[in-house]
Amino acid sequence: MKNIGFHKTIKPAVSRLRIAAAGVLLLGAAALAAVAVNPNPPKLPWRVPTVNVGINPVTSVVDQATLTVYVANVAEDTVSVIDGTRCNSSNSSRCSPIATLTVGPNPLFMAFDPTTGTLYVTIISGTENTIAAVNANTCNARNTSGCGQTPAVVTVPGATFNDDSGQASNIVLDTANHTLYIGDAEEGPSLVS
């Protein structure tokens, strides 16, 4: 048995690894030196402001007409309302919620109907077969007078959440036909509202 061939194949691979590691360290040192010389490095073009919303934000939708962003906070039973004209990639002057909607236990998925100005939110706790319908015409970036409203509740025949499997139903809105589609979390047929 000869081990000479084995050692010869390992040795060049180890040398290449050492060269690669030295190159990475050299580049890292150069980057640190550049930051030390320039304390104000240029901003990345994709850097956008952040917004502190409720606990456990999960989904969001946008009303393009009013530039309002709605964020579902599943752990707080709320939806945060954000003014997109004052909080975006080129303007971060007021990046905080302008209002909060209380919609029901554990809001998860949302859909927005721009024609009627209705925000639909699936509720995954409590009865587990409801969708909150909010009049967003009076709760948006231009008008917050109705943000304290109690949303209408629509009961669907299936489940919006299945406790056994942890499965949640998503909703999709066909804006042309004003039809809301929701899957049954208990693996039944899709529901139409």
Residues 145-188: pLDDT tens digits? 999 999 999 888 777 777 777 777 788 888 888 888 887 777 76
From residue 104, how far is each of 75, 126, 152, 165, 166 by CA, in Å? 11, 8, 10, 22, 19
Q: What is the pLDDT of residue 9?
A: 46
DSSP output for 99-116: EEEE-SSSEEEEEEETTT
Q: Is the pLDDT of residue 4 over 50?
A: no
Q: What is the pLDDT of residue 189?
A: 58
Q: What is the pLDDT of residue 68?
A: 96
Query: Is 56 within 8 Å of 76 (Cβ atoms)?
Result: yes
Please report which confidence band the pLDDT of residue 25 belongs to, taking 50, 70 and 90 as the band edges: low
Q: Cα-flanking dihedrals φ and ψ of residue 63, to 5°?
A: -95, 105
How far apart CA 73 and CA 102 sit, in angstroms, is 10
Q: Is the pLDDT of residue 193 over 80?
A: no
Q: Is the pLDDT of residue 139 over 80?
A: yes
Please report which confidence band the pLDDT of residue 31 belongs to, taking 50, 70 and 90 as the band edges: low
How far apart CA 136 and CA 63 sit, in angstroms, is 9
Please report which confidence band the pLDDT of residue 124 belongs to, taking 50, 70 and 90 as the band edges: confident
pTM above 0.75, yes or no: no
CATH of domain 57-192: 2.130.10.10
- pLDDT: which is higher, 80 or 6: 80
From residue 37, how far is each of 41, 47, 63, 103, 149 by CA, in Å? 9, 22, 44, 51, 55
How far apart CA 118 and CA 125 sit, in angstroms, is 21
Q: What is the pLDDT of residue 7?
A: 45
Q: For the chain, give the number of residues.
A: 193
In DSSP terms, 73 is beta-bridged to 57, 78
Average pLDDT over residues 66-89: 92
